[in-house]
Amino acid sequence: MYSFDSRVRYSEVDSRGHITLPSIIDYFQDCSSFQSEELGVGIDYLMEQGLIWVLSSWQIEINRYPQMGEKIAVSTWPYGFKGFFGYRNFTMEDGNGELLAYANSIWTLLDLRKGKPARLPSKMQEAYQLSPQLPMECESRKVAFPEEMEGREPFPVHKYHIDTNQHVNNGKYISMAQEYLPSGFRTGKMRAEYRKAAVYENMIFPFVAGDQEKITVKLADGEGKPYAIIELEEKK
């Protein structure tokens, strides 16, 4: 397990002073990146090997959104590898150890030279110490979407959407999807499935369906093929 302590920054909160869902995702991503860097299998190692980790799916559950200035502890650990898939949990706790948010994620290791999934090199298998899976109800990595969805105004991928893999960072798709939430909607559960990577200057065609309790957003290319499908459930 890898953990780090922080405080909720002003730049990470919404208009009500609570941390945003994209900020929670950023903390989770940063935590896994910090662990990989510390173990010597981070960005530089992956580039040397011609490999990248690509997120296949998120399932994030929010118990409570901490406020600006609150102390938090973020943790992550891999709990399994199967073929080219990696399975990883995340938690965010407050200063008293209260569980604020937790997540299950599935990652795919890709060989950039071949453009195909790759098995874990022995160095990576030895570096990561597996821990028990977080006891949570894990749903399918596939996110279903209704046949009939309302198309919205398309928009381009901007430079600020792009990460070191030269495609849209997985967290940016969530920020895009949140634009279609009803006023006052507060997410208690988020699922995301990533189908293919959008790159700079691609056009994103959004499709939206749902009600006050659950919204599904498909972010697609010009042919309607999804880059990502995001499901957001209202916090109960």
pLDDT surpassing 90 at residue 211: no
Q: Looking at residue 212, what is its pLDDT?
A: 81
Q: Looking at residue 69, what is its pLDDT?
A: 96
Q: Looking at residue 108, what is its pLDDT?
A: 94
47 contact partners, CB below 8 Å, separation of at least 6: none
Q: Looking at residue 42, what is its pLDDT?
A: 94
For residue 108 the two structure tokens come to 């795919």
Place 183 in a pLDDT band, splitting at 50, 70 and 90: confident
CB-facing half-sphere around the CA of 104: CA atoms within 13 A? 17
How many other CB atoms are found less than 10 A from the CB of residue 106?
19
Query: Mean pLDDT across the chain, nearest whole number?
Result: 94
pLDDT surpassing 90 at residue 204: yes
How many other CB atoms are found less than 10 A from the CB of residue 210?
21
Report the candidate in 183, 195, 200, 203 with the shortest Cα–Cα distance to residue 225: 195
